[in-house]
Every structure is written in structure tokens, then in C-alpha cells.
Structure 1
Amino acid sequence: MSEDQTPRLGLPLLHIGQAGKELTHNEALARLDIVVAGVVEDIDVAVPPADPAPGQCWIVGAQPGGEWVGHAGAIAGWADGGWRFIAASSGLSLWCRARARHVTFNSAWEDGVVRATRVIVDGVPVIGARQPAISSPAGGATIDAEARGTITAMLAAMRTHGLIA
């Protein structure tokens, strides 16, 4: 951490004897307003909108233009006094209005990626660890019996995953 800002969000810090502390404090609040329970209008946007409303945010694309030049991948938030840019840190997750889902920063912005060891819906595990492969039927005089065995194994795997009761 530098003496001037916090390490993760780059929030400006107050100093003893500092004049105009309210400016530093208000800047920190504006930045927090962008990322705490954050919502962005869209991701991978190259050019700032013409008439943003206070509080609206976007994730800047890889080839930004206009006032966003030099801020690729950052969160751009419009507030009194102009644009505020927040560099993303690993694990930061924001709601994207345009896509109606969360986007998460993990070395780069990820859209539509869900990382989990299991998924639980209404208290019921529906996706768990991968089950062993099910062998395809091979050989034998009565193919129907082998097909039934394979179907039975598939159904057992689906039950294990919680996909069927």
C-alpha cells in the first residue's frame, strides 16, 4: 500500500494536516459507489457514451477511444466532475445490465463463466463431481440387455448429479 491510496481499489487516503480533506473523502466515496454492489451498463465498450447519467458505469474495452484512452479493462463510472476509473482486481464481480448476468475479473473480464465445485438449487445438489465414464455396449448376443445396462448406468449417474430423482 502506498501512502496515498489503498492497494486494491486505489482509494485516496487522508493525511494528518491535509487541507481539503473533504475532497479526498468524497473521491473515495465516489469510487466505492462504483464497485460496492456494482452494476455496469455493459462490458467491452470502446467509446464513452455521449450523455451518461451520474452513477452509470461501463467496463472499458481493449481498444478504448475518447476520454477512455489508456483505461482498457477498467471500470469507468460517471460522477460529478467527470469519469472515475477503477482498475479491476481478481475476484471483483459486477452485475451487467445489458447481459443480465454477473461478469467477474480473473486476470481479464469473464462473461458467462461460472466457477464452482458444485451447484445447489433449493437445497438439492444438481451438479457435482464428474462421474466415471460409462462404457458403450460392445459384443454380446443380446444387444438389448447391454443397452439396458448402459441406460441404467446413465440414469444412475444422472441421479448422482441430482439431475433426476
Structure 2
Amino acid sequence: MPATPRFSLPLLAMAQAQKEVTHNEALTLLDALVHAVIEAGPQADPPATPVEGCCWLVGPDATAAWAGKEDAVAIWTSGGWRFVLPRAAMRVSRLADGASLRFDGESWIEPPSIAGAAGGSTIDSEARSVLAALILLLEAHGLLISG
């Protein structure tokens, strides 16, 4: 079946019967991938009671229905699991903590953890408040997780 080059979305073929099946499959994948949000992950085990339309990142040593699908975005649909292999620079947001994860071509990278300003012999309260505000803004955008 012909597919798009980036995410292997199914394409309609000339004189294809039941075009709605192919079209609906592509819409299901697009619904999950545009502004992708994951429930959790990377994790090895599929959730016990997934909700239709929700996504997870498949981690190393995946089990059960996820076996052999490491690093994929797992999407639960009315027809079961759908898997999309990530491309380099793909990003997803994790609902659990708001982190913005990025696929570097080999694995999913979580944002670095940054602690607040501390220490030093000269204490500059204005500089520390600016740093704290900057860290809060970066956390709000999902670019950092404070430690």
C-alpha cells in the first residue's frame, strides 16, 4: 500500500475499494501525531486499560503487544494498537509532568533537570530572582524539569 514518506500514513490508490478504511486510518494517525501528547513513557508494559485516542512511548525491552516496538508512539484505537516510528527531532509532550521529550534519532531525550541558584560568596537577590523566573518560564514551556 502506498504511504507517505515521513510517518507512513496510508495513501489512497486509484480504483481502490473501500477508500474510507484507508482514509480513516490516516485520520486516526494524524489525530494522535499532530501536537502529540503522551500519557506516560517511555515504558515497557502496555497499560492495562487504555483509553481510545491516548498515546504512550514504548520503552526498551517492551512486552506483550508492544514487543519489538521500542521507541514507537503507541496509539490505542478502537481497532487496537497502532504504532508510529519516530523521526529525528520529533517532539511529544508528557501529560504526567508537562515535559517536552525529543527523539534524537536513537532514543527519546528528556529535558535536563536544573536546580535553583545557590551558593557563592556574594548573594545577589535580584540575579537569583531573575534566574528563578527564567527557570519557571522554561518549565512552563516544557523545556526544563526543576530538580
What TM-score results when the alignment is normalised by the length of structure 1? Answer: 0.66
> Runs ≥4 in structure 1, deviation > 4 angstroms?
none
Partner of 2:100: 102
Structure 2 Cα separation of the partners of residues 88 and 31 of structure 1: 13
**Counterpart selection for 2:90 from 89, 92, 112:** 92
- Counterpart residue number, 1:12: 10
One of 15, 24, 34 as aligned partner of 1:26: 24
1: CA distance, partners of 2:77 / 2:31: 10
Deviations along 1:86-135, whole A, 9 cap, x unmatched? 00011111110123211011112111159xxxxxxxxxxxxxxxxxxxxx
Q: Which of structures 1 and 2 has the bigger CA Rg?
A: 1
Conserved 8 A contact 1:42-1:99: no
Higher RCO, Cα 8 Å, sep 6+? 2
> How many positions carry a matched residue from both structures?
117
Residue 119 (structure 1) aligns with: none
RMSD of aligned alpha carbons: 1.9
In structure 1, the residue matched to 2:63 is: 65
Report 1:1-165 matches (<5 A): 4-107=2-105, 108-113=107-112
Change (3 A) 1:79 1:98: same
In the TM superposition, residue 10 of structure 1 has moved relative to its aligned partner by 0.8
Cα distance in 2, alignment partners of residues 53 and 44 from structure 1? 17
The C-alpha deviation readout for 1:6-54, integer Å capped at 9, x for no partner, is 1111100100000010000000011111110110011221111111011
- Give the letter for the 1:42 counterpart: A
* 8 Å Cα contact 1:37-1:94 kept in structure 2: yes
TM-score (norm 2): 0.74
- Shift, 1:67, TM fit: 0.4
Match of 2:141?
Answer: none
**Structure 2, gaps ≥5 residues long:** 114-121, 132-147
How far off its partner does 1:63 sit? 0.6
Please say which of residues 104-113 and 4-13 is displaced more in the overlay. 104-113
